[in-house]
Amino acid sequence: MHTITTNNTPPTTLRGIADHSWHKRGLCHGMPATDADELFFPKPRDHQAIAEAKQICGRCPVRRDCFNHALDNTIKDGIWGGLTEAERRPWHAKINKRLDYARVRAAFQGRDVHLSEPEREAVTRHAYARGWSPERLAYTLQVGLEHARDLLRNADHDVADRDRYWDLYTGDATDDNGEDDHTDEEEEKEPASSPVTRHVQTTSLIVALRKAA
């Protein structure tokens, strides 16, 4: 486990530690504790309570925040985000493979987000593209400074390898006359395989990440 190091360069954004501000906007906020327990932590066969809880969750403006809170904190009991324990079980099982760009943007904005490994890789890629310093990446990912340097160095190598070998996997070839054999349609197609994935980024995502950075 890597730990945070003391960095000479202060972060440019403030981290929201243990941000539970969404609680106040939940429809269940202010409900008596006894009623909330009976409704959101019902017995397995209490279908009436489950249906009532789901009805409230379905209209709640912070349903997604509630759901993510349960996943991030490994809460497997009760109804969170409108899903029962059994319905959330598949999400808990694949939490380490989650890739949610809304969470990536939140990390760029300084929020204290529990990122999965794919999400941490996405943060690293975009941090490298934006020219972040190792100190800033170390703070954002809460890792050691040397580890942050390694992550940026690996991102640099991945991009260099991708650009160096990409043409080999696009089938970029010329005929005997030195002319390109490809049609316009073929040039627009992505290759079937490549040693390094070329990540497709939408314009809206790039703009959002640029603003966050």
- Band the pLDDT of 47: cuts 50, 70, 90: very high
pLDDT digits (tens, 9 = 90+) for 83-140: 999 999 888 888 778 888 888 888 888 887 778 888 999 999 989 988 999 999 999 8
Nearest to 156 by CA among 196, 110, 99: 196
pLDDT at 76: 87
Angstrom CA distances, 211 to 73, 89, 105, 126, stand at: 29, 35, 9, 12
pLDDT at 168: 53
pTM above threshold 0.75: no
pLDDT at 205: 58
pLDDT at 208: 62
pLDDT at 160: 78
User: What is the end-to-end Cα distance of the chain in Å, rounded?
Assistant: 26
